[in-house]
Each structure stands twice: as C-alpha cells, then as structure tokens.
Structure 1
Amino acid sequence: MKRVIILLLSILLIGCGTSLSSNSIDAPNIENTGARCSLSLHQQIDQLAQPQIDSGHTPGMVVGIITADGQQQIFSYGYTDTDRLIPVDGDTLFAVGSISKGFTAESAALLVQHGQLSWQDTLGQLLPRSNKLSPDARRITVEQLASHTSGLPRQVSNIAMLDKLVYYLFTGAPFYGDLDSGDYNDFLRNFHTLAQGKVIYSNLGYALLDQALEQHSGRPVPQLVNSLILQPLAMKHSGYYPQLLPGYIRRARGHAGDQPKFVARGEVVPEWHFSGYMMGAASLWSSAGDLLKYLSAHLHASGNPTRDRAFADAMRMRLYASDDDSAALGWLANHIYGQDIIYQSGFIGGYASYIGMDRRHGNAIVVLQNSFNWDNDIGHRMLLRMAQAADNPGRCD
C-alpha cells in the first residue's frame, strides 16, 4: 500500500511521460493561418503572453526568438516578483531546471569528441565501488543515461521521498536531496530493468550521469559545462552559482503556480539549490539572451568544429516514438503536422522554461517564466506557426 501511495503522489506532483509538460498547439488550418497574416511575430507573442501576466498565471515572462534570417528578438512581460515590480528583460536570471540536462549531455558529447569518453562506457566501468551495482545497473551506458533510455525510474521511490514530497506540497521546499547526495546505492544494488528500449524521463539517471562524468574526468559537471560551453559561447549570465552571476540581485523570483498544490498561486516559493549530483540535472541559471546564443550555436555554428560535431551528435535521435516524444541526448523531439520540433523543458522551484528549435526552417524560441506551470504552449505554438507560414506563403495573399 505504501508503494502505491508513493507512486500516485509522484505522478500527482511531477507528471508522467517524457516531456513533463503540455505542448498545446494551434490547429493547422487555412482560417487560423489567414487570421494571423496581418500580425507581426511581436503581436502574435503579445496575444499569447500578455494574458498569462494579466490573469496572474505568472508574474513575469521573457520570450526570445531567432528567425530564419538569423535575427534575434526578445519580448518581455511583467516583473521579477509582485513586490519589487522590477521589469524582466533579456538579461534577467531564471532557474531553468531540467534544461541543465542538455548542457550536461553536450559536455559528455564534447568528451566523446575529444576521445576521452565513449557513449558505450558503462556504469560498471566508470563508477568506483561498482560491486554496489546490480548486474543490470552495471550494464547501463552513458548514452542510455543521457537519452533517458536506461530503464531507471524518475526518482527513487521510498518512504523518505514520500515525506519530502508531502512537505513540498505545503512549502515548495526541494525534495531531491537524496539524489543530490548520491544516496541511491541501495536502490541500484537491487535494480532490475523492465523497460529497455523505452523513454523514461529520469532524474536519477542524470544524477548518475553527473557522478560518472565527475569520477571519469576529475572535474564536477558545473566546471565541465563552464569550460566547454558557457565560456566559449560568451554566456555571461549563465551558471550554477547564481549569486556569482551579474544581475543576481534583480533575478526573477520563483512563484507557486500549478505546483506546489497547497501553496497559493503567486506566492514566492523557496529557490532550489543543489551542491552534488543534481547540479548537472537541474541547477543551471540563465537568461533569455544567453539561451538565444546557445540555440544560435546549434542552428548555425559555434565557432569551433569539434563543438559543432558534439552539438550535432547530441541532437541525433537515439530512440524514435511515433506517438510520443523521441529522444536525443538531453533533447526531445516531436513530429507534428509535418513539422519537426526539437526542444527541452525545465521545471524547478517556482520556474518553468522552454527552449526549442525548428532546424529545417532555422527558427528557435526561448520561453522563461517565474511561476511553476506545466504548459509550454507559447514555444511549441510559435515554432509551428512560423514553420507553417514559411511552408504556405500563399495563404496570406
């Protein structure tokens, strides 16, 4: 009975599936396309974003766009919080949650490109004291961890986790302390996979990836990401220690939204800070301006051929699903109405974030909000609208 309660509560709190979020989209018909023909991208985003602010869905939101000609635009709505009323902008810091996973996976991809790591390296090879791993756990590869195909669950489900989840419901306090500290050996000692060849979104998997990369390289993941990605791309408003970043005092404050259930929407909730193996899974802070730099490096070029190969490798699909998200490394992909969208979502302690690309048309988008809301509507909607407009220019005649 306890296991059933834990499972049900985990689903209630954290969602299910691979994407974690709702990606509602427009119906692709001539009427909808025609109705938008007279509207600029700015006006379309206004229509989607401003009601979220006016309704109290989120205190603030920043949307960044890259169009097919390489131009970047940033649109800002609302405030960092409801007390100070500081307007958000393209440099405002947000916690981006699981978007951190993409940076971790691509740091691993760079180590692969440098010949310092193989995607087929296993936990049995990379982790010391591997006698604490079950035979199934020993066989898990780096590639499986990075693509959520290892068969590991989202988190370790036990009574201690249940206690933390219940406390989170009423306070918004973090509940991944055990993963952060590496306290999952008992689970791994008895792990038996039942879901090979299937995408199961796993924070546990990324905690293990973080641990394996640190043990193998001798450098913690924040240091790897900083040296391999953030510094080369001049992402000066991105990092794992937000208090050291420019503009921290004016950062967006996280607020309750769809979660936590028993904290009133709009209330400020605690920031989540990790110091161990959850840093690579969920600890990055960034801004819309920096994330546009990151997306531009994926759409075009980063200025370094080795890094470009690593980015391309990370975006290559490892598992296709016709009726759900397909999985790359850190990235997920949808095939919708003839369009291919590759994206990442992040949800953590009062924040929700989205980055996505339509590589065929050369478009990308960033959506950051300082409220924990499951929907990614604006990101998916705008990428599909831009793609449909490019493919059907005659509809606006």
Structure 2
Amino acid sequence: MTAPSPTRAELRAIVDSVDAPDVVMALSQDGHRTVVTGGTGPAGARGARLHAPAPAHTPACARADLRFEVGSVTKTFTALLLATLAHQRVLGFSDRLSALLPPPVPPHARRDAITLFHLATHTSGLPRLPWSVYLQPRGRFHANPFAHSTQPRMLGAFARCRPRSTPGTRWHYSNFGVALLGPALARATGTPFTDLMATHVLGPLGLADTTLTGPYDHRDALGHDLTGDEACPPFAPGGWAAAGAVRATPGDLLTYLEALLAPGSHAPLADALRYVQEPLLRRGRHREHTHTIGWFQHTSEHGPFFFHSGATPGQEAFLAFRPSTGTALVALANRRYPPAATLQQSTYNLLA
C-alpha cells in the first residue's frame, strides 16, 4: 500500500495548534516542498530587537526565511561530521577521547575507555549533564544553563567525572558526551569545530543559511519564554556547540534531510550520509527503540523513519524523514513551553 503524503491541511492544523509567536511546518515529498507558517505574533523581523532596533531600511523577514535555533538537532550534524572525517580516514571511530583532549586528564579506567563512537551513540556512560551545569545560577526558569559553561569548564568537568557504566554497554542520552566531540574533533584535526562543520558539512550540502556562530540579526527567530510574552536572549552554547549551536532556516533544514534521503546525490558525503542511517543498537523492554549514530529510528507500516527533536530555552525543533517514501518533515516554533508536546508529537504522528 502506498503511504499517503502529509497534506497541507494537516500541516496547517499543527501550525494552528501551537501557541507560539512564529511556527513553521515544512514538508518535502519526493523533492516537492510545501511550507506552512503561522503563529500568534506579527510576522516580520524581530531577531535583533532584543539588543537593538533594526535599521529603518531593514526588510521584514518572512517566517519561512527565519533562522531558528534547533538545539539538540545539532547532534545529528555533529554525528555526520564525525562520520565524514572517519570515512575520509582523518580520524577513527575507535579513537580514545582522553587521548584527544588537552592534558591533564587523570587516568580512570572507564573514562579512558570512552571512544568517539561512544560519544556519538550515547553509550559513553557519561551523564546527561555534569553537575557543574546544574549548579550554575540561572535566576529564571528559561535562563540558559550553558551561559557560563565554557569549554575549559566542560573539560574540567570531564576530568572529574566517573562514568556510570562501562562505555559501550548501556545507552544513556548525554548532552555532555556529544558536546565533548567538539574539542575532540578540533584537537584531532587542528581546526576549530565551527570551521570543521562549515568545511565538511554545511558547505558541501549548500546550507548557506545555517550557522553555529553569531552575529544575530533580523533573520533570526526570537525565542520566547513559557508565557509567550517575554523574549529570551539568543541561545549561547558556550563550550557546548557540538550539542546545540545550530541555527538554520526551514529551507536549509529540508535541504539537509533531502540529502539524507538521496545520499548518492552528494558525492563527497555519500558514504557518511548512508552510515548515519545504519541501525547500530536497540534498547527497550521489547527492543523497540533503534538508534543510529545521531538519529532515533522507529518503525511504521510504510517503513522505518528517523527523527530527532531539539530545544533551547526559547525555541523548539523537530526533524524527521522516511527514506522508503521520500518524505521529510521540519517543525519549528519560537516558544519552548508548553508547545513541545503539540509540535513534536503531532509531527511525529504524521510519519508514525
């Protein structure tokens, strides 16, 4: 039976159900794109307003052209970068993390056994976040927990941590682990992480409207707090760029997913694009949860599909694609609480 394609009406229903100033649903079906936008706030340029008003001549930016913070969806970009460097033999999946980080890293059996593969697959034994992040003063519920988490502090937290389990034996989602790929890949190649991403992933895929760094301007969606009324400062990932720094337009995110749907069309990255879709481990009581290097994979009657969600203190994102039907979905909103369940679950349901 042929899988039904999500309709514009279904996309519109999701957009209208999310209480956020700006909401975007973007669909690619066999390369044909449909974008539906909406929201409770006035459409236009608001990205730079938090710091300074935009010049009078600055044109309004349509919601479909805004760059949104995608939070943990960044991890899929980092996984693709790692796979690319590994397939180019610049480094190896089995390279030990402790050997790639600046000394001193005190010896510890479990810590010394962590590899780059363990970090990318959330099997390092590291916690979701180190205690140093939880102990940061935040002041407000939506404040950025990484505001003071510089790379030296993150590396210091790693040097003090004791993995909960032997690396490779247990899956446990870890922002900490993926974030450590940033300094590890940078040290292994002698190139800053953001430059590596631009050279090996963003550039080859043609993602000109995707970035991991500032400055922020009228093209950037402005995040909002749980009330939807108060603006959040732009997300500053500190030393955690590899786990949550990406900002991208809906169009670039569809281009990214379309590359995953058609790896052979992107010769420099073809092997890596295929590899990040390979099932690597299963977990759950009935082994119902499948993981690749960077993506979650679930089953449906029309074939397996891949997905990842993300959030910053003021924004939400959900990306999904199903190779068997050539379908890719992007869902974005610039208010995190409480629309996550509506935005992410509704988008998931379109494929599941």
TM class, shorter-chain normalised? Answer: 0.7 to 0.9
Look up the match of 2:184: 212
> SS state of the match for residue 182, structure 1?
helix
> SS state of the match for residue 76, structure 1?
strand
In structure 2, stretches of 5+ residues that fail to align are: 47-59
TM-score (norm 2): 0.85
Preserved contact between residue 95 and residue 351 of structure 1 (Cα < 8 Å): yes
State the shift of 1:238 in Å: 0.6
**1:50 counterpart letter in structure 2:** D
What is the distance in 1 between the residues matched to 2:346 and 2:16? 11
**1:377 counterpart letter in structure 2:** Q
Cα 1:287–1:366 shift into 2, 3 Å? same
Please list the CA deviations of residues 6-27 of structure 1 after superposition, one character each: whole Å capped at 9, or x if unmatched: xxxxxxxxxxxxxxxxxxxxxx
Preserved contact between residue 225 and residue 231 of structure 2 (Cα < 8 Å): yes
Look up the match of 1:272: 235
**1:345 counterpart letter in structure 2:** S
> SS state of the match for residue 90, structure 1?
helix
Look up the match of 2:165: 194
What is the distance in 1 between the residues matched to 2:41 and 2:301? 36
Preserved contact between residue 77 and residue 88 of structure 1 (Cα < 8 Å): no
Preserved contact between residue 256 and residue 371 of structure 1 (Cα < 8 Å): yes
What is the distance in 1 between the residues matched to 2:280 and 2:250? 28
Identify which of 351, 370, 380 aligns with 2:348.
380
State the shift of 1:51 in Å: 2.7
Identity %, equivalent residues: 24
- Aligned ranges 1:1-397 → 2 under 5 Å: 41-52=7-18, 57-67=19-29, 69-78=30-39, 88-129=62-103, 131-158=105-132, 161-164=134-137, 166-169=138-141, 172-177=142-147, 179-184=149-154, 185-194=156-165, 196-243=168-215, 248-257=217-226, 264-275=227-238, 277-301=239-263, 303-321=265-283, 322=286, 325-336=289-300, 339-372=303-336, 373-375=339-341, 376-384=344-352
State the shift of 1:300 in Å: 1.1
Cα 1:319–1:135 shift into 2, 3 Å? same
Preserved contact between residue 20 and residue 41 of structure 2 (Cα < 8 Å): no
> SS state of the match for residue 139, structure 2?
helix
Preserved contact between residue 232 and residue 314 of structure 2 (Cα < 8 Å): yes
**2:189 counterpart letter in structure 1:** S
Preserved contact between residue 80 and residue 252 of structure 1 (Cα < 8 Å): no
What is the distance in 2 between the residues matched to 1:329 and 1:338? 22
**2:114 counterpart letter in structure 1:** I
Look up the match of 1:387: none
What is the distance in 2 between the residues matched to 1:371 and 1:125? 40
State the shift of 1:222 in Å: 1.2
Preserved contact between residue 6 and residue 350 of structure 2 (Cα < 8 Å): no
Preserved contact between residue 104 and residue 221 of structure 1 (Cα < 8 Å): no
**2:253 counterpart letter in structure 1:** L
What is the distance in 1 between the residues matched to 2:43 and 2:340? 21
Instruction: Considering fraction of residues, name the structure with more helix.
Output: 1
Cα 1:369–1:353 shift into 2, 3 Å? same
What is the distance in 2 between the residues matched to 1:295 and 1:272? 24
How many residues align? The count is 329
Higher mean Cα deviation, 287-296 or 372-381?
372-381
Cα 1:81–1:371 shift into 2, 3 Å? farther
Preserved contact between residue 136 and residue 191 of structure 1 (Cα < 8 Å): yes
Please list the CA deviations of residues 366-386 of structure 1 after superposition, one character each: whole Å capped at 9, or x if unmatched: 0111111432023212223xx
What is the distance in 2 between the residues matched to 1:301 and 1:227? 18
Cα 1:120–1:355 shift into 2, 3 Å? same
RMSD of aligned alpha carbons: 2.6
Please list the CA deviations of residues 40-75 of structure 1 after superposition, one character each: whole Å capped at 9, or x if unmatched: 7111111222132xxxx21111111111x3211111
In structure 1, stretches of 5+ residues that fail to align are: 1-32, 258-263, 385-397
Cα 1:40–1:141 shift into 2, 3 Å? closer
